[in-house]
Amino acid sequence: MRASQWTSITGTIEKSLKVNNNAALPKSADSLGKDQTLVKVHYAALNPVDYKIPEAPFVGQFAISTPASPCMDFAGVVVKTSRSDLKPGQAVFGKTEPPLFGAMAEYLVAGRDGTIALPDGVKPEEAACVGVAGLTAYQCIAPNVKAGDKVLINGGSGGTGSFGIQIAKALGCEVTTTCSGPNVELCKSLGADEVIDYKTQDVHEVLIRSGKRFDHIVDFVGSPELYWAAHYFSKDTTKMVNVGATMTLDFFKRLLPIFLLPRFLGGGRMKYEFLTCHAKEDDFKQIGSWMAEGKVKPVIGEMFTLEDVPKAFEKLKTGRVRGKLVVKVSDE
């Protein structure tokens, strides 16, 4: 099969990837385990975790068997399966789990929670965007809100944020989000009720002046300053979920008082949670249902070929990606 692979990471993943036209099939392709499915991949999508784990010292070297193909999010068709509810030729979408990755290859093996039947009317290239970004947005919003709640989404124009706006609206929430000027209209088109341009406005000042008290706050950017400012525009019951932070020493220093100090000594008032998404069949099905109904539509920022996966990673690392970056892995 054809696959974008690395055998070792020398500096960065984009400098280490090469297309292998004679790559071996996944190890379990010939003897599938319980509830496993061999999928021919048509499209795959990129996420920051797809380079952060392989590039991490020691983790990337010892936790991932090489040669390896990056990325987890995929859409394609069933080649064969040990499941009774799927059949060969059926269109599916989903995600693998790290450290397996494997979506930038013509074939992969995925488990039950990560392989979902593609709903009628949903384009496979759009379904390929759901895995990490869609599940992350769903899992940090859906369990924490009810219809009518006011939700603040910090970072609404990226892959996860664009899902977050639409999911919160599908759940009946009022959404305020932040982005840069060129993406204001995009966020409005996704359903955001209020959009704050962080390039021309002081986000914290605007939120404080608004007088709003948010029921739920999601930080897709990873700003420790937002937590402390949010005391002026949140409720006693508000939770903040962080999924965008880069785990640096400085970041943890800024957040330590939240967990270590009591409130009267400067500790945090709001509940604070870091979230890492996991494949869940029911969550996938709900997002797929909304996509079929037209309530959620993934934003594809740019399409790439398998040969251009290194360029896609370079683009992703700029941090200025609008929506999702998708790769056409093989012909439909």
pLDDT at position 263, please? 54
Give ranges for CATH 3.40.50.720 in the chain: 134-274
Spatial contact of 300 and 46, defined as CB atoms under 8 Å apart: no
Q: Give the span between the Cα atoms of 72 and 244, in whole angstroms.
A: 18
Q: Residue 47's pLDDT is what? A: 96
- For 133, the 3-state DSSP assignment is helix
CATH 3.90.180.10 residue spans of the chain: 3-129+298-328
Q: Is it true that domain 3-129+298-328 has CATH number 3.90.180.10? A: yes
The predicted pLDDT at position 160 comes to 97
CATH superfamily of 134-274: NAD(P)-binding Rossmann-like Domain (3.40.50.720)
pTM, two decimals, is 0.93
Residue type for position 275: L
Q: What is the pLDDT of residue 99?
A: 83
Query: What is the pLDDT at residue 276?
Result: 86
**Residue 215, token pair as written in the block:** 């029921």
The answer to whether 94 touches 279, Cβ cutoff 8 Å, is yes
Mean pLDDT for back-to-back runs of 10 residues, the chain (332 residues): 95 96 96 98 97 86 90 99 98 93 98 97 99 98 99 98 99 99 98 98 98 97 87 94 68 58 53 88 98 98 98 96 98 89
* Residue 118, CA atoms < 13 Å, CB-side half-sphere: 25
Tokens 């499941």 -> residue? 83
Q: What is the pLDDT of residue 145?
A: 99
